[in-house]
Structure 1
């Protein structure tokens, strides 16, 4: 297959630090034709970085909002651009996604699917009724869905090694202050990221939740902390703790951020270290009569390569090789979970119903 013509829409931190290095590992399956940003300065800087990181003979063409002759519409009119990766602020992404689809481009858009469930639902409905029948591919770049570490944990659950799943937990505490590189960006908090990982591992849809949300740190309004109790369709229930408002860095570093799943025959825990996911699995051992006589431990380590794998999966999907990951409907559930948690006030909320199209 010929290399796909690709454009990147967005030139911020995540596009530079995650997407460019990931693209560099994919070889010649794509050709980066263009980059767009709202400003000429940021788009030009990204193009320069792309030339170096991707070892291009020439930098990709630059498009921005400061010149109508170099606008996003002009970029999308190019016949040599087959697909776009959208890495723009979430408030503008739905409009840009639809504009790209209307121009006949395949789309990989960064998480979340939309700022809220209502806009996410409308976006998915328009794609599925108007653009999907045309053969256009739209995926949401939820890299935790593509992480081998989380997929390994999912397989362990699916294979029944833990027995019947009974309860689970997810904990994510984060330190952010005014000096953080993420503070002034829309990527400073992506709470549905953790929910996506839990959704993948459990392999059972969320049904109801009850939660409280609050603001622990004045610089992160309107809310920076969620504590939720949730239930999934197979009957398991669990606790989810999410906060970006830790008072000091050690509250985050010493929090033991992780996801754990417990069943009738054992449990697993997924933790992260720089560049690595570690899955620790502890299961009961039994004698010939089935009586528990102890337990055994298995440790699996997987490199953190989710962004690379999600882009590779997207490009393969353009050739009809769909791995089933990063579907917009799945990521709508993640937004629904957070929206429900923010509005629950302690009352039960039907997450499944909220995420229905």
Structure 2
């Protein structure tokens, strides 16, 4: 079967470091074109493709006649697009691609807020019925083996009785991620919590499972490091539909370091990280601890391959469903809103997408 011709939309850090290598790693895809807002950025990205001597066409806002985004969308040899653009811009490009009948793999978060995400999902459902184009959201944490393994271990240990999530780090002014202009001065809620935080809500929701989806929460937010406005720290208390109460503590502006997901169950505890899960079976002196590790991976090569397979099979990969990304976003947004309202309780509506 011939590979799917694709275009890369964007030429930023993640495109260069992750998306292009991932697309090159699977024989199911063939990069035909790159679009960016500037021709220089598109050209720089194209240099990362081995043996590229003009075989990859460049498109950009300043590339001249016949090289606009709309021109790229008219090409019959391009069946899919990987879109990685600033959060505030991405939705419009996704909609245009879907309307043109192109399959889309779009970077997370799905949108700047839940209202925008709902509009995008509704648009996709309406347009895809006519064009048969699919929309997949690139949440690479769903392609880490640790989270589904942890979820399975939790189920073996009986009813969930509590949880503590601690995510502490410092986004420094010198970081290449901070120096991206649209992140330095965010025009969207939550700053780095929205941009990166949906990774963690995705992992957390996967581990809790459908039986323990978050039903409501209260949160306090603050700004500890001024360069990370509007907020950099969240302390939330969550209650699941099963009645379990737990805490979710996250900061991107602290000198503390932590990356821990603890899920307590009737018959033990699971502690999960991106590449390691520690399961404690039993209580007290009878407890037995087991550790399982995986080779560290971003998950991007796995997600891009899965997307390619879904295009060729005509069956969307359930791990890339936009509804899942909507629920990841909702959990983060409700924490931010509760913080803005000095801890007012927030009800959640879309957590049944697990």
TM-score (norm 2): 0.89
2:117 partner SS: helix
The 8 Å contact of residues 39 and 58 in structure 2, kept in 1 or not, is answered as: yes
Residue pairs, 1:295-334, within 5 angstroms: 295-303=287-295, 304-318=297-311, 319-334=313-328
Question: Cα 1:203–1:132, aligned 2, differ >3 Å: closer, same or farther?
Answer: farther
Query: 1:22: Cα distance to partner?
Result: 2.2
- Deviating runs (4+, > 3 A) in structure 1? 55-59, 186-189, 353-356
Aligned to 2:14: 14
Q: Distance in 1 between matches of 2:21 and 2:165?
A: 29
1:190 partner SS: helix
Question: Cα 1:35–1:84, aligned 2, differ >3 Å: closer, same or farther?
Answer: same
Aligned to 1:259: 261
Moved more, 328-337 or 230-239: 230-239
Aligned to 1:202: 208
Aligned to 1:288: none
Query: 1:126: Cα distance to partner?
Result: 1.0
1:100 equivalenced with 2:97 (yes/no): yes
Task: Give the alignment partner of residue 190 of structure 1, picking from 190, 193, 196.
Answer: 196
The 8 Å contact of residues 101 and 136 in structure 1, kept in 2 or not, is answered as: yes
Q: Distance in 1 between matches of 2:129 and 2:273?
A: 37
Query: 1:355: Cα distance to partner?
Result: 9.2
Query: 1:348: Cα distance to partner?
Result: 1.1
2:94 partner SS: helix
Q: Distance in 2 between matches of 1:355 and 1:220?
A: 32
Moved more, 103-112 or 126-135: 126-135
1:339 partner SS: helix
Query: 1:56: Cα distance to partner?
Result: 5.0
Query: 1:25: Cα distance to partner?
Result: 2.6
Question: Cα 1:231–1:220, aligned 2, differ >3 Å: closer, same or farther?
Answer: same
1:23 equivalenced with 2:23 (yes/no): yes
Aligned to 2:277: 279
Q: Distance in 2 between matches of 1:124 and 1:16?
A: 28
The 8 Å contact of residues 98 and 127 in structure 2, kept in 1 or not, is answered as: no
Query: 1:133: Cα distance to partner?
Result: 5.4
Query: 1:139: Cα distance to partner?
Result: 0.8
Question: Cα 1:175–1:324, aligned 2, differ >3 Å: closer, same or farther?
Answer: same
Task: Give the alignment partner of residue 118 of structure 2, picking from 100, 117, 121.
Answer: 121
Q: Distance in 2 between matches of 1:235 and 1:145?
A: 26
Count of aligned pairs: 334
Q: Distance in 2 between matches of 1:133 and 1:147?
A: 34
Aligned to 1:289: none
Deviations 1:153-200 (A, max 9, x none): 12222xx32211111122211212221101132565421211111011
Query: 1:316: Cα distance to partner?
Result: 1.4
Q: Distance in 2 between matches of 1:239 and 1:133?
A: 44
Residue pairs, 1:151-300, within 5 angstroms: 151-157=148-154, 160-185=155-180, 186=182, 189-204=195-210, 205-246=213-254, 248=255, 251=256, 255-272=257-274, 277-284=275-282, 294-300=286-292
Query: 1:208: Cα distance to partner?
Result: 0.6
TM-score (norm 1): 0.88
2:318 partner SS: coil
Question: Cα 1:33–1:221, aligned 2, differ >3 Å: closer, same or farther?
Answer: same
Query: 1:68: Cα distance to partner?
Result: 3.6
2:205 partner SS: helix
Gaps of 5+ in 2: 184-191
Q: Distance in 1 between matches of 2:131 and 2:71?
A: 22
Cα RMSD of the aligned pairs, angstroms, is 2.0
Gaps of 5+ in 1: 286-291
Aligned to 1:135: 132
Aligned to 2:329: 335
Task: Give the alignment partner of residue 87 of structure 1, picking from 79, 84, 87.
Answer: 84
2:320 partner SS: coil
Aligned to 2:59: 63
The 8 Å contact of residues 22 and 308 in structure 1, kept in 2 or not, is answered as: yes
